[in-house]
């Protein structure tokens, strides 16, 4: 059965138990690595174990063969039900003794020969080649362990494809092994005896192989049992790889001044913690807020956050009317996972650091202004007009006569402006600029304040006071008032 398929139910159930409440806003303690591996069902992903046992004649010395057989118990007992085991003995030839699912150690060990071949040679090249044959099978598991136990050097029989410890045949083995990575295949060589240089040949084919150096054969049980942790990490790495780069989806609901955003995890295994949650709007006059700034989402689960949204335009004093704007609301947050500490540095989750998702554009409206603005404004304008009229009548601030504008020489007449009312605009194509004349009451008579700019918009206007029949110079021009009728 495919190990990835076996873990599906275990993973979901394990994470649910580990995190307790997946859709509630809660606080997660950082779990241990063992808890994480158990929750994702790392043991449910199949692993291949290829065990190569030296049965050459020298293995009979010092009870090595019987000690190795006994020590393999720890390795086989550490396997998971979904694992596949391939046990080969090698001397003059390579012989499969057990090919099948993980079984109790006694079952597998019972398939081994009672003792080594008294006259057997040691063909390490053929043994390693057989291991590669197994790993290259289409049905091979995603992760694998190769364990080589030998007490001698490479001493092949006549006619072996590997007559020496180097050469084209060994180059071909290395080329085949290069197709695997250290994260998918772990190799261990267990050298027994003083002249077990053949164990190093495994490292020449698998560069990341670990050559163990037990003080005695009895320690082999402990060394082989340690492979369990390495395999579990490799299994977990395979499972968690499908969550790399995944984070959250966001869906939105708007109802008047209320907004809710539902965050759903896209991960299959990894829980996500979101901090620094906030809402922003494309229109600065729209104010959006969330009721919480931190939330935690279990894999495949969702959490709904509630908040508020208000359109607050800066309209100032105005008449009563409705103003509207259309903009998107965006949710932001910083992402992390309570699993990060437990898995580093061996496994990096690849979770994005930031999360951001925008809603579809929404239209927000609000009433602004006062219903009394227009009536009050009309009354105020009417009163102002009446007051101005009264003042003008009372003070006689009315322009009269003609304002003559001459050039810088004082002789050339550029324009003449009849004056009337309280102000007169000085605008004529013959003038290089523009100005204005305003009636000013001074000492009981109506004077004129003349302002003029030679470059409107670029230079400020200059101004001066001119009495009836008087003159002044502004901006390089001469302004003279001519009375009419008196």
What DSSP character marks residue 338?
Answer: T
Distance of CA 383 to the CA centre of its chain: 64
First to last CA, the chain: 119
**Which DSSP string corresponds to 424-466?**
EEE--TTSSSEEEEEEEEETTEEEEEEEEESSTTTS--EEEEE
Per-residue pLDDT, averaged over 37-51, amounts to: 82
Q: 168-177 and 124-135 helices cross at what angle (nearest 10)?
A: 30
Whether the full predicted model's pTM is greater than 0.85, yes or no, is no
Give 196's pLDDT tier (boundaries 50, 70, 90). low
Class for domain 245-368, per CATH? mainly beta
Beta bridge partners of 424: 437
Report the C-alpha gap between 89 and 79 in whole angstroms.
20
How many angstroms separate the CA atoms of 482 and 485, rounded? Answer: 10
Cβ–Cβ under 8 Å, residues 163 and 156: yes
Kindly indicate whether the domain formed by 45-240 is annotated with CATH number 3.40.50.410.
yes
Q: Taking 60 as the threshold, does the pLDDT of residue 168 lie above it?
A: yes
pLDDT band at 26 (very low <50, low <70, confident <90, very high): very low
| Residue ranges, CATH 3.40.50.410, the chain | 45-240
The confidence band for 20, taking pLDDT boundaries of 50, 70 and 90, is: very low
Which among 400, 455, 453 is positioned nearest to 422, based on CA atoms?
Answer: 400
The per-residue pLDDT for range 416-445, each reduced to its tens digit, is 999 988 899 999 998 888 999 998 887 777
Partners of residue 264 on adjacent β-strands: 249, 302
- Per-residue pLDDT for 4 more than 50? no
Rounded percentage of the chain residues whose pLDDT exceeds 70: 83
Average pLDDT over residues 68-81: 82
Kindly report, residue by residue over 381-420, the tens digit of the pLDDT.
777 866 665 555 555 568 889 999 998 888 889 999 999 8
Of 222 and 479, the structure prediction assigns the larger pLDDT to 479
**Confidence (pLDDT) at 2:** 39
Chain centroid, CA 302 distance in Å: 18
pLDDT the model gives residue 272: 95
Instruction: Give pLDDT, residue 197.
Output: 65
322 has a pLDDT exceeding 70 = yes
Give the residue among 198, 219, 202, 218 at the shortest CA–CA distance from 210: 202
Best-predicted range by mean pLDDT among 19-23, 132-136, 150-154, 395-399? 132-136
The CATH 2.60.40 domain(s) of the chain lie at 245-368
Looking at residue 66, the DSSP 8-state letter turns out to be H
Order of strands across the sheet that contains 423-426: 423-426, 434-442, 445-453, 462-466
As a whole number, the mean pLDDT across the chain is 83
Confidence band for 375, pLDDT divided at 50, 70 and 90:
confident
192: Cβ–Cβ under 8 A, 6 or more apart, which residues?
Answer: 54, 59, 64, 68, 149, 150, 151, 217
Residue ranges of E strands in 312-411: 321-327, 329-336, 354-358, 362-368, 402-406
């Amino acid at each position: 059965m495919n190990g990835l398929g076996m873990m599906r139910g275990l993973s979901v159930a394990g994470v649910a138990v580990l995190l307790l409440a997946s859709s509630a806003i809660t606080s997660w303690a950082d779990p241990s690595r063992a808890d994480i591996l158990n929750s994702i069902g790392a043991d449910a992903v199949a692993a291949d174990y290829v065990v190569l046992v030296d049965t050459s004649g020298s293995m009979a010395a010092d009870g090595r063969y019987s000690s190795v057989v006994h020590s393999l118990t720890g390795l086989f007992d550490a396997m998971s039900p979904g694992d596949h085991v391939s046990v080969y003995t090698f001397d003059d030839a390579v012989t499969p003794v057990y090919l099948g699912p993980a079984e109790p150690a006694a079952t597998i060990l019972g398939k081994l020969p009672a003792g080594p071949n008294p006259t057997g040679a040691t063909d390490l090249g053929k043994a390693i080649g057989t291991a590669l044959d197994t790993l290259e099978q289409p049905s091979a598991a995603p992760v694998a362990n190769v364990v080589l136990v030998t007490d001698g050097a490479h001493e092949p029989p006549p006619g072996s494809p590997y007559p020496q410890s180097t050469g084209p045949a060994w180059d071909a083995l290395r080329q085949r092994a290069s197709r695997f990575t250290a994260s998918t295949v772990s190799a261990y060589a267990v050298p027994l005896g003083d002249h077990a240089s053949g164990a190093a040949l495994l490292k020449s084919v698998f560069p990341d192989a670990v050559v163990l150096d037990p003080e005695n054969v009895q320690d082999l049980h402990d060394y082989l049992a340690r492979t369990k942790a390495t395999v579990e990490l490799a299994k977990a790495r395979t499972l968690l790889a499908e969550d790399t780069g995944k984070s959250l989806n966001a869906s939105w609901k708007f109802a008047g001044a209320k907004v809710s955003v539902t965050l759903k995890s896209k991960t299959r295994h990894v829980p996500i913690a979101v901090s620094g949650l906030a809402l922003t709007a494309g229109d600065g006059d729209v104010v959006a807020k969330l009721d919480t700034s931190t939330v935690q989402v279990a894999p495949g689960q969702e959490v709904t956050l509630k908040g508020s949204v208000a359109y607050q335009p800066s309209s100032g004093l105005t008449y009563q009317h409705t103003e509207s704007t259309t903009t998107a609301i965006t949710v932001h947050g910083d992402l992390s996972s309570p699993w990060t500490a437990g898995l580093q540095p061996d496994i990096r989750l690849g979770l994005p650091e930031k999360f951001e998702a925008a809603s579809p554009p929404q239209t927000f409206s609000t009433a602004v202004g006062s219903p009394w603005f227009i009536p009050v404004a009309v009354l105020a304008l009417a009163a102002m007009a009446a007051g101005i009229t009264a003042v003008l009548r009372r003070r006689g601030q009315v322009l009269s006569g003609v304002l003559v504008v001459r050039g810088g020489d004082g002789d050339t007449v550029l324009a003449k402006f009849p004056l009337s009312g309280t102000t007169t605009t000085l605008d004529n194509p013959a003038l290089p600029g523009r100005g204005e004349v305003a009636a000013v009451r001074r000492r009981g008579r109506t004077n004129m304040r003349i302002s003029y700019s030679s470059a409107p918009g670029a230079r400020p206007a200059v101004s001066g006071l001119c009495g009836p029949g008087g003159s002044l110079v502004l901006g390089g021009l001469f302004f003279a008032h001519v009375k009419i009728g008196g």
